[in-house]
Amino acid sequence: MTKPLPAKPAASGRQGPVELDVAGLLDDPRTRIIVCCGSGGVGKTTTAAALGLRAAERGRDVVVLTVDPARRLAQSMGLSRLDNTPRPIAGVDESAGGRLHAMMLDMKRTFDEIVEAHADPDRARQILANPFYQSLSSSFSGTQEYMAMEKLGQLRRSDEWDLIVVDTPPSRSALDFLDAPERLGRFLDGRFIKILTAPAKAGGRAYMRLIGAGFSMFTNAITKVLGAQLLKDVSTFASALDTVFGGFQERAEQTYRLLQTPGTSFVVVAAPEPDALREASYFVERLAEERMPLAGLVLNRVHRSRAPELSAARSLAAAETLEESGRHPLAAAALLMHADRTQLETRECRLRDHFTSAHPSVPVTEVPAQAEDVNDLTSLREVGQALATPN
């Protein structure tokens, strides 16, 4: 598929955006990790899958690490269940010598694997059986982001893949992904956990000395609210987790540093809408602050008019004339639709230009809105082609 139209030059004589060279990025053997990030629902999973498919069909050995993909996309890729093993994707053209695997991240399983790998078997059993652990490992906010980082580190260390494409989880804030390791560390290292750990560690009297009467009243109150059993669970869990905690933090830092290396490229995905672009802007700045290598922006689901020579104003005027005459209702409707679309395109271009003037050095590529959701390999291939085609 080719893009319907070249991008319009930026308004007021400004330069248009620098082109994001997706084709070059995917073919470059030095590109080892691509992380797709952006706010919710903008097309991160679709972009990650399309990039992975394209790279595989161009001869690279690729694994896509995806989080919670839309059901139909998962099915069409043959991913029927959550597990932590990369699965080969059927239907990929492997004639160039590449392969595509995909893996849906199972947070709880990843958490369990870490505990099993880093605690002695008795401790591991104790942690895994702990009800507090069970709910934390599947629901603590940030675990999803943290686990994506953890799994990425594991896949990279295995050195089995030419390229790892990472899809990031939907999050309220696009920044959660970068903050996750620190947040988990803060949580585990936090005062609340320390207090709860203290009885298990120090025993009653020492515990009283450690935290003082005020806090003892506080924990008594918690015991009343949460129930003694739960408090005991939390306490046993936290002290057991203490044994593996050092490893957690260390590996998170390793993965963080891995993300800063030149083999990694961040791709920020946004829809041509004010909120998504505002968030993309923020993300671009944050990546720069953290010294993470940014490849560029994917502007996904853009609308381009197929007859740019017919302006919205002329199209509207013609539609009105036709409507007044009461003839050719279909032509009038088509003209109105064209006017709508042209106005939408103008709005989208303005938003893009606004982003580009704030971040003139950030390369951009555009992907047109497809007629339908992107649910199969054929439409993923089209998105991949659009990503790699200059605007």
Per CB under 5 A, contacts with Mg ion among 155-194 are none
Place of tokens 């005062």: 191
> What angle, 0 to 180 degrees and rounded to 10, lies between the N-to-C axes of helices 228-260 and 204-226?
100
Phi-psi region of 343 (alpha: psi -120 to 50; beta: other; left: phi over 0): alpha
Query: C-beta of 117: minimal distance to ligand ATP in Å?
Result: 28
Which of 160, 159, 161, 107 is CA-nearest to residue 135? Answer: 107
Rounded to an integer, what is the distance from CA 271 to the centroid of its chain? 14
Residue number with CB closer to Mg ion (45 or 375): 45
Instruction: Name the residue nearer to Mg ion (CB basis): 20 or 374.
Output: 374
- In whole angstroms, the minimum distance from the beta carbon of 369 to ligand ATP comes to 5
Answer with the entry of ligand ATP, Mg ion, none that 315 interacts with (C-beta below 5 to 8 A by kind): none
Give the x-and-dash track for 30-49 against Mg ion (CB under 5 A).
Answer: --------------xx----
The CB-of-153 to Mg ion minimum distance in angstroms stands at 21
> Using CB distances below 5 to 8 A depending on partner kind, what does residue 74 bind out of ligand ATP, Mg ion, none?
none
E strand map for the chain: 33-37, 61-66, 87-88, 99-104, 163-167, 264-270, 294-302, 364-368
Indicate the residue among 271 and 362 with the shorter CB distance to ligand ATP: 271
By CB under 5 A, the count of residues binding Mg ion is 2
Closest to Mg ion by CB, 44 vs 99, is 44
| 335 vs 349 by CB, closer to ligand ATP | 349
CB burial of residue 295 (10 Å; 0-12, 13-18, 19+) = buried
Q: Which partner, Mg ion, ligand ATP, none, binds residue 240 by CB below 5 to 8 Å per kind?
A: none
Which tokens belong to 78? Answer: 């043959």
Q: Which CB, 105 or 292, lies closer to ligand ATP?
A: 105
Residue nearest to Mg ion (CB): 45
Sign of the CA dihedral 116, 138, 36, 165? Answer: positive
Between 41 and 97, name the residue whose CB sits nearer to ligand ATP.
41
Helix axes 312-325, 329-358, angle to 10 degrees: 160
Distance between CA atoms of residues 37 and 179, nearest Å:
13
* Residue 369: contacted member of Mg ion, ligand ATP, none (CB under 5 to 8 Å, by partner type): ligand ATP
**What is the C-alpha to C-alpha distance for residues 157 and 196, in angstroms, rounded to an integer?**
35
β-strand partners of 64: 102, 165
Shortest distance in whole angstroms from residue 348 CB to ligand ATP: 13
Entry field: residues in the chain: 391
Neighbours of 82 (CB within 10 A): 15
> Cβ 247 to ligand ATP, closest distance in Å?
29
Determine the residue with CB nearest ligand ATP. Answer: 170
Residue given tokens 């899958």 in the structure block: 49
Shortest distance (Å) from residue 160 CB to Mg ion = 24
Which neighbouring-strand residues pair with 268? 37, 297
Look at residue 250 and give the partner it binds from Mg ion, ligand ATP, none, a contact being a CB closer than 5 to 8 Å depending on partner kind: none
What residues line the site for ligand ATP (CB under 6 A)?
40-46, 70, 170, 300-301, 367, 369-370, 373-374, 383
Residue 346 contact, options ligand ATP, Mg ion, none, Cβ 5-8 Å cut-off depending on partner type: none
Q: Toward Mg ion, which CB reaches closer, 49 or 295?
A: 49
Shortest separation between residue 341's beta carbon and ligand ATP, angstroms: 15
Task: Tell me how far, at minimum, the Cβ of 44 lies from Mg ion, in Å.
Answer: 5
In the bound state with ligand ATP, the residue whose beta carbon lies nearer, of 94 and 373, is 373
Q: Do the beta carbons of residue 166 and residue 148 sit within 8 Å? A: yes
50 vs 238 by CB, closer to Mg ion: 50
Q: Tell me if 355 sits within 8 A of 333, measured CB to CB.
A: no
**Judging by DSSP bridges, how do beta strands 99-104 and 61-66 pair with one another?**
parallel
70 binds, among Mg ion, ligand ATP, none (CB under 5 to 8 A by kind): ligand ATP
Minimum CB distance to ligand ATP, residue 64 (Å)? 12
Residue 270 makes CB contacts below 8 A (sequence gap 6+) with: 38, 39, 42, 276, 277, 279, 280, 297, 298, 299, 300, 355
Residues lying near Mg ion in the complex (CB under 5 A): 44-45
